[in-house]
Structure 1
Amino acid sequence: MGRPERLQLITRHVAVSATLAFVLGLPCTGLTEQRPNRSEAESRLDQVTFEIGKLKNKLEASRADHREELSRIREVDLTIQRTNQTFRSLEIQADEHRAELAELKQQRDDFLDSLDERLDQLAEQLRTSYRMRGQSRMKLVLNQDNPGRVGRMLAYYDYLNRAQVREISGLKDALTTLDELQQSVDRELMRIETVQNEQRAVLNELSAQREERAVLLSQLSDRVNSEELRLRELEQNRKDLEALLERLTDVLADIPADLGSRAGVAQQKGKLPMPLKGPVKHAFGQPRVGGLHWQGWLIGSEPGLEVGAVAYGRVAFADWLRGYGLMLIIDHGQGYLSLYGHNESLLHEAGTWVEPGEIIGIVGSNPGSDQGLYFELRKDGKAMDPAAWLRR
């Protein structure tokens, strides 16, 4: 039944109910009791019709606000995703700078060790030179009986002097190199500090975005507080997901039916790893409002935990989806899909291949009992109970 027909039916029911209530609510003190005249009944009916019209307008306004809030939540979720990507990029830069700093420090330390050895050698040469300083070249010659020995002593004397000059010059160069290494270390330290300041700024942005998201979710929860509205919301969420899965049926036609040495999902039934560790807060088949049932698992976890792929496959979808937040869907071939919802950040784009256990996302925050990762397994579009497939 469409929305206009339902509203017309509600209008008729309320109008009839109001009229009956008006008639039946009259005191029955006797046949002589005066009954309401036609104009009074019509006036009451007009009032009820007017109230229903106001209710319809309010409902339409609420629906418009609801759509606007969903759109704002989507934008905030995508902004958080981009901020997380920026933070991860900064973290990679910081790691690179830390590695460069460690290498520079090692070079500096090795150079200092070498410098210590050269200083020891120079000190020994200077001590020898000091001992010989009291003897002139002529005295060295006159004190030697063997002419050959005299030549060797003079050559050694000259060699020692030249060696000292070279060593002192080399030490000056070494000190210059050491100073350059220390400057490089200082520059890397400044780069790391700059990146860390940027990271702190990004984290502050992320915190503000998460607070904004929490406020929007709270406002949305206040609007969708009745069972009927909640049912409508869940039905629409399911329709959106089913429509998406239909569009994804042939989107990755190049996934091989035979994975070669890799075991397919069908061969790993009961052996697939959990996408993350945590209690199953809502299990497959458990009832929801309005006769609906859970088509997957809600795995309880704190925000920020890493989500792993349950099997080898290719990412078919990585984007925001109404009711599921940032959603990632992996096509494992042979008609098998795994779905991961309620993420704060997605680490892979559509079309990329992932290994079993590879980190694909970060769990986000959701209010109340819905906190955690939403996970589904499907075969040819039909939801399956994860309990029969995952190893807990």
Structure 2
Amino acid sequence: MTALRASALCTGVFLCLLTFSTSANSQLEGVSDEIARQQSQLAAHNKKLNHLQRDLKAQATRIETLSKRIRSAQSALGDTEAEIETLTKKQARLQQEMIGQQALLADLLDAQYRQGQHDQLQRLLSGDDIAQLDRLTRYAETLAQSRQAAIESLAATRTEYQLTAHQLKQQRDKQSALVAELQEKKRDLESEQNAQSQTAKKIRAQIASDSAYLAELNANKQRLQEEIAAAARRATVKMAGIANAKGKLTWPVKGTLLHRFGERQSGQVSWNGVVIGAKRGTEVKAAHAGKVVLSSWLRGYGLLIAVDHGKGDMTLYGYNQALLKDVGDTVTAGEPIALVGDSGGQSTPSLYFEIRRKGNTTNPLPWLD
């Protein structure tokens, strides 16, 4: 009887253990499935985010190309308009010269006509003094020479006037073509900017949660750190740095200070530089003389340019619409190096400006003039 009870007890315990084991396995499988689901969602999220970032980069590149073409066309248009103004003034001057030359020629013709009414033969027969006749002869010759010179000058002025009129027409035709080109490029640019804005909105929606935004910020900062370190290793800039320029650096752009150094971005991540709001297309100027060591698109910072000033000092300029300098270019303080934009997924046109000294970020504001 005792053995029977013991057997029954063991069977019950075994069944309980079996039930518990089955339940535990079921829960473990459920957890594994949830983990797999979340990993799949995360992979899909990252894939979509990476795809959107590639679209953003491609759009930024097209916008940069259009911006540079517009800038070039605007410069050519300015030169053309200056040439038109010069030619217009020249044409007016030539017009006045022709009026004066025509009046002079008319006076010479009148004088020659009046002098011809009393020819030398008539004077000789009248018994006038021979010396007087010689003077009149020389006067007639001078008058004829002056008339011929006046005719030649008028002809030359007329030729120059016609040439100027032709040049003026050419410049005005060029002006019309440039204006049409500008209008077309600006329409294309506006279309690309709208597309970029839509892509940026989708990216912000993808990283709407605090954790996703924080992860993106940290990844972007890490990418920037790696790019700058690589650029610094490649660079051989023999300049004095900015140690003696504190409080004297040129403001890269004038505008509204949107974010300050050290201000919280998200979680424990703070701004390593300042963000200055300014009109799209405004020239970004080098804060100090140096050499361009980085000029490319970087996720989170858009079109970014970095200038090495020597002695481990570097300034960074991000969110640009276009980069005007290439790696290896030497720049002076105040020289335009980029154009303000909203590349990198920004919601408003602005400039990201950062100062690094021996790899460490520092507050830019005390360094600016």
TM-score by length of 2: 0.84
Amino acid at match of 2:274: W
Matched, 1:142 2:120: no
Q: How much identity, in percent, do the aligned residues show?
A: 26
132-141 vs 229-238, which moves further = 132-141
In structure 2, the residue matched to 1:19 is none
The 5-angstrom pairing of residues 230-269 of structure 1 reads 230-256=213-239, 259=240, 264-269=241-246
In structure 2, the residue matched to 1:20 is none
In structure 1, the residue matched to 2:367 is 389
Matched, 1:373 2:348: no
In structure 2, the residue matched to 1:201 is 184
Q: State which of 92, 111, 117 in structure 2 corresponds to 1:128.
A: 111
Indicate the SS of the match to 1:57: helix
Q: State which of 306, 309, 313 in structure 2 corresponds to 1:336.
A: 313
Report the Cα offset of residue 339 of structure 1: 1.0
Indicate the SS of the match to 1:374: strand
In structure 1, the residue matched to 2:172 is 189
219-228 vs 272-281, which moves further = 272-281
In structure 2, the residue matched to 1:284 is 261
Distance across 1 between alignment mates of 2:142 and 2:48: 93
Distance 1:60 1:107, change over 3 A: same
Report the Cα offset of residue 55 of structure 1: 4.7
Matched, 1:324 2:301: yes
Matched, 1:214 2:192: no
173-182 vs 339-348, which moves further = 173-182
Q: State which of 71, 90, 114 in structure 1 corresponds to 2:54.
A: 71
Distance across 1 between alignment mates of 2:347 and 2:142: 86
Amino acid at match of 1:327: L
In structure 1, the residue matched to 2:292 is 315
Distance 1:63 1:126, change over 3 A: same
Report the Cα offset of residue 184 of structure 1: 1.3
In structure 2, the residue matched to 1:299 is 276
Higher relative contact order at CA 8 Å, sep ≥6: structure 1 or structure 2? 2
Matched, 1:357 2:340: no
Q: Output one character per residue of 1:169-188: Cα deviation in whole Å (capped at 9) or x when no partner.
A: 54234323321221111112
Distance across 2 between alignment mates of 1:113 and 1:341: 55
Indicate the SS of the match to 1:250: helix
Does structure 2 conserve the Cα–Cα contact (< 8 Å) formed by 1:302 and 1:365?
no
In structure 2, the residue matched to 1:8 is none
Distance 1:207 1:86, change over 3 A: same
Indicate the SS of the match to 1:351: coil
Amino acid at match of 1:323: G
The 5-angstrom pairing of residues 141-160 of structure 1 reads 141-160=124-143
Q: State which of 72, 75, 98 in structure 2 corresponds to 1:92.
A: 75
Report the Cα offset of residue 207 of structure 1: 1.3
Amino acid at match of 2:365: A
Matched, 1:273 2:273: no
Distance across 2 between alignment mates of 1:341 and 1:331: 15
Indicate the SS of the match to 2:308: strand
Distance 1:176 1:288, change over 3 A: closer
Report the Cα offset of residue 196 of structure 1: 2.1
Distance across 1 between alignment mates of 2:214 and 2:307: 28
Distance 1:107 1:368, change over 3 A: closer
Q: Output one character per residue of 1:105-143: Cα deviation in whole Å (capped at 9) or x when no partner.
A: 344334333323322221211222343454455434334
In structure 2, the residue matched to 1:22 is none
Does structure 2 conserve the Cα–Cα contact (< 8 Å) formed by 1:327 and 1:342?
yes
Distance across 1 between alignment mates of 2:100 and 2:352: 64
Distance across 1 between alignment mates of 2:365 and 2:147: 80
Indicate the SS of the match to 2:342: coil
162-171 vs 290-299, which moves further = 162-171
Distance 1:368 1:165, change over 3 A: closer
Does structure 2 conserve the Cα–Cα contact (< 8 Å) formed by 1:346 and 1:361?
yes
Indicate the SS of the match to 1:231: helix
Report the Cα offset of residue 364 of structure 1: 0.4
Distance across 1 between alignment mates of 2:152 and 2:279: 63
Instruction: State how many pairs are aligned.
Output: 350
Distance across 2 between alignment mates of 1:369 and 1:67: 19
Does structure 2 conserve the Cα–Cα contact (< 8 Å) formed by 1:312 and 1:332?
yes
Report the Cα offset of residue 51 of structure 1: 6.5
Distance across 1 between alignment mates of 2:176 and 2:105: 40
Distance across 2 between alignment mates of 1:277 and 1:254: 28
Q: Output one character per residue of 1:34-88: Cα deviation in whole Å (capped at 9) or x when no partner.
A: xxx9999998997887676555433322211110110111111111112222222
Does structure 2 conserve the Cα–Cα contact (< 8 Å) formed by 1:298 and 1:370?
no
Q: Output one character per residue of 1:231-263: Cα deviation in whole Å (capped at 9) or x when no partner.
A: 11111101101111221222212424xx3xxxx
Does structure 2 conserve the Cα–Cα contact (< 8 Å) formed by 1:308 and 1:358?
yes
